[in-house]
């Protein structure tokens, strides 16, 4: 429950853009959150895929505190160590070549799109700037990333949207083959997250990669939700046998602090030159120190992601609750298709002490911290099964 005080403060001063649940959290530890009233909640949501190492992990707290007490920000007019170390580390983990740091997923995708368009403009000139994305995709909430998002419900209120985006159905190769000659890039989520936790078919993705190579379209992957160990590899593209030209990331990278960015490869690393792209907070030292600590912690649990996902699936399959119609996803990014409104299940889970998310029209979405203990998993699964009964 939320105290009347807090609620009236929200009502008076905070814009009503979110349908918030009637709970207020005051602290967390591991994969457990504590409410204002001291009540315990198992977390299967990670603040929407952000808290990949849970709450208040001692190594993360130490790294953030140390950096905050040393140098919090100086801007990109100067060099700072945490961003450089993090960029090197991300390139090593991904096989990509260079990194641009931003502050959120939408901003990461904005940069990715600018990079793709400039690549094409430098090489081919005007008239080749269209970016093709998938129906049911989600790429962010800025005016441009809303245009990139392939869902009509997001194309309201804010007209005119940025031009030059087209959406094709996932799995429909012909819709891509028959594109006019103005395409510069294809942008994909390998598992559509907000759209319902829908993994793309591997063969389809490899065919898209082939088409991209053939036409010199840049293959761009939005790993804002799938990235940073969430699906059981550092990046989901590593399970699809493809080599993207640009990859964006955000959510889980810094374990709870705002950080995003995109990585480029051979074709795209020299596209953005001085003055063509920037952001004041980019590579913020505290966020980058948090990310370095997060990667260290995740290194120790990465090989467990598949096993933990297996535990969740096995528990649900064994109990086979009546309102569960199917399980999908990749690694610890799991979608449960449910009978009835997903939000109702999220509400009753919360009432019983479990935090879950929803996605698309039919799914309860699970994005637990990757460091979740088996005990916490078990507790959460017990509640989840009750809720789906
Ligand atoms: C969440 C998300 C975004 C947007 O990230 P923000 O940090 O909210 O701007 C973009 N793409 C995907 C795939 C996402 O899941």
Q: CATH classification of 60-299 is 3.40.640.10, yes or no?
A: yes
Q: Is 43 in the pocket of ligand 1 (CB under 6 A)?
A: no
If we measure between CA atoms, which residue out of 243, 277, 272, 275 comes closest to residue 119? 272
Query: In this predicted structure, what is the pLDDT of residue 346?
Result: 98
Closest CA to 293 of 47, 59, 55, 103: 59
Tokens 């940069």 found at: 111
Write out the residue limits of the CATH 3.40.640.10 domain(s) in the chain.
60-299
Query: Are 230 and 252 in contact, with CB atoms under 8 Å apart?
Result: yes
The pLDDT of residue 275 is above 90: yes
What are the tens digits of pLDDT across the range 35-51?
998 999 999 999 999 99
Smallest Cα–Cα separation from 150: which of 175, 180, 129, 178?
A: 175
Dihedral pair phi/psi, residue 290, rounded to 5°: -60, -40
Q: Please tell me the predicted confidence (pLDDT) of residue 310.
A: 98
pLDDT value for 32:
98
Q: Is 222 in the pocket of ligand 1 (CB under 6 A)?
A: yes
CATH architecture of 304-365: Alpha-Beta Complex (3.90)
- The residue contributing the CA closest to ligand 1 atom 6 is 105
Sheet holding 246-249, edge to edge: 98-102, 260-264, 246-249, 218-222, 183-188, 130-134, 165-168
CA dist 220 and 213 (Å) reads: 12
Ligand 1 within 6 A of CB of 103 = no
Contact 332, 347 (CB under 8 A): no
| Structure tokens, 213 | 């190579």
Task: Give the pLDDT band of residue 204 (cuts 50, 70, 90).
Answer: very high
Does residue 206 register a pLDDT over 90?
yes
User: What does the DSSP 8-state code read for residue 29?
Assistant: E
pLDDT number for residue 15: 97
- Is residue 1 pLDDT above 90, yes or no? no
Average pLDDT estimate for 102-107: 98
Pocket test for ligand 1, best of 137, 140, 335, 367 (most atoms within 8 A of CB): 140
> pLDDT averaged over the chain?
98
Atom 8, ligand 1: which residue's CA is nearest?
A: 105
With bands split at pLDDT 50, 70 and 90, how would you rate the model's confidence at 167? Answer: very high
For residue 177, the model assigns a pLDDT of: 98
Domain with CATH 3.90.1150.10 in the chain: 304-365
Token pair belonging to 39: 């009540």
- In ligand 1, the atom with minimum distance to the C-alpha of 107 is 9
* Cα separation, 384 vs 315, whole angstroms: 10
Ligand 1, atom 5: nearest CA belongs to which residue?
A: 105
Please list, residue by residue across 211-245, b when 16 or more beta carbons sit within 10 angstroms of its beta carbon and e when fewer do. bbeeebbbbbbbbbbbbbbbbbbbbbbbbbebbbb
By most ligand atoms within 8 Å of CB, the mutation choice from 144, 224, 365 for ligand 1 is 224
The kind and range of the H/E element at 356 are none
Question: Residue 195 in contact with residue 138, Cβ under 8 Å?
Answer: yes
Q: Please, which pLDDT band fits residue 389 given cuts at 50, 70 and 90?
A: very high
Phi, psi of 213 (to 5 degrees): -60, -45
Per residue in 54-100, pLDDT (tens digit) is: 999 999 999 999 999 999 999 999 999 999 999 999 999 999 999 99
pTM of model > 0.75 = yes
Give CA–CA dist 250/271, Å, rounded. Answer: 21
> Ligand 1 within 6 A of 110 CB?
no
Ligand 1 proximity of 104 Cβ (cutoff 6 Å) = yes
Is residue 143's pLDDT more than 90?
A: yes
pLDDT tens, residue by residue, 282-324:
999 999 999 999 999 999 999 999 999 999 999 999 999 999 9
Judge whether 261 and 74 are in contact, CB under 8 Å.
no
Residue 373 CA to ligand 1 center (angstroms) comes to 26
pLDDT digits (tens, 9 = 90+) for 182-201: 999 999 999 999 999 999 99
Q: How far is CA 256 from CA 172, 250, 343, in A?
A: 36, 10, 24
Distance 141 CA to ligand 1 centre (A): 8
Establish whether residue 189 lines the binding site of ligand 1, counting it when its CB lies within 6 angstroms of any ligand atom. yes
Best residue for ligand 1 mutational test, from 141, 251, 287 (most atoms within 8 Å of Cβ): 251
Q: Which residues contact 26 (CB under 8 A, 6 or more apart)?
A: 34, 35, 36
């Amino acid at each position: 429950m939320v105290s009347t005080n807090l609620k009236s403060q929200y009502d008076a001063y905070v814009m009503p853009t979110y349908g918030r649940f009637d709970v207020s959290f005051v602290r967390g530890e591991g994969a457990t959150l504590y409410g204002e009233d001291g009540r315990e909640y198992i977390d299967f949501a990670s603040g929407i895929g952000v808290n990949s190492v849970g709450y208040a992990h001692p190594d993360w707290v130490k790294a953030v505190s140390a950096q905050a007490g040393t140098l919090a920000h100086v801007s990109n007019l100067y060099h700072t160590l945490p961003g450089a170390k993090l960029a090197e580390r991300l390139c090593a983990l991904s096989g990509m070549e260079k990194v641009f740091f931003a502050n959120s997923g939408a901003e990461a995708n904005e940069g990715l799109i600018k990079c793709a368009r400039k690549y094409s403009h430098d090489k081919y000139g005007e008239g080749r700037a269209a970016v093709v994305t998938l129906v049911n995709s989600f790429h962010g909430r800025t005016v441009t990333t809303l245009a990139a998002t392939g869902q009509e419900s997001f194309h309201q209120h804010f007209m005119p949207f940025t031009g030059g985006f087209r959406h094709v159905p996932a799995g429909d190769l012909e819709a891509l083959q028959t594109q006019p000659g103005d395409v510069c890039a294809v942008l994909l989520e390998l598992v559509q997250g907000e759209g319902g936790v829908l993994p793309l078919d591997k063969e389809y993705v490899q065919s898209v990669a082939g088409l991209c190579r053939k036409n010199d379209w840049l293959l761009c992957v939005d790993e804002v939700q799938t990235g940073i160990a969430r699906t059981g590899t550092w990046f989901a593209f590593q399970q699809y046998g493809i080599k993207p030209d640009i990859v964006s990331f955000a959510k889980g990278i810094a374990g709870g602090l705002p950080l995003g960015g995109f990585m480029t490869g051979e074709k795209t690393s020299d596209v953005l030159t001085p003055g063509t792209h920037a952001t004041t907070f980019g590579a913020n030292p505290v966020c980058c120190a948090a990310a370095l600590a997060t990667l260290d912690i995740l290194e120790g649990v990465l090989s467990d992601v598949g096993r933990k996902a297996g535990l969740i699936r096995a528990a649900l399959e064994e109990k086979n609750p009546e309102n569960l119609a199917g399980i999908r996803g990749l690694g610890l990014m799991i979608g449960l298709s449910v009978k009835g409104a997903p939000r109702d299940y999220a509400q009753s889970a919360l009432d019983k002490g479990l935090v879950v998310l929803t996605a698309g029209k039919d799914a309860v979405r699970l994005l637990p911290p990757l460091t979740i203990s088996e005990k916490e998993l078990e507790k959460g699964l017990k509640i989840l099964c009750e809720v789906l009964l």
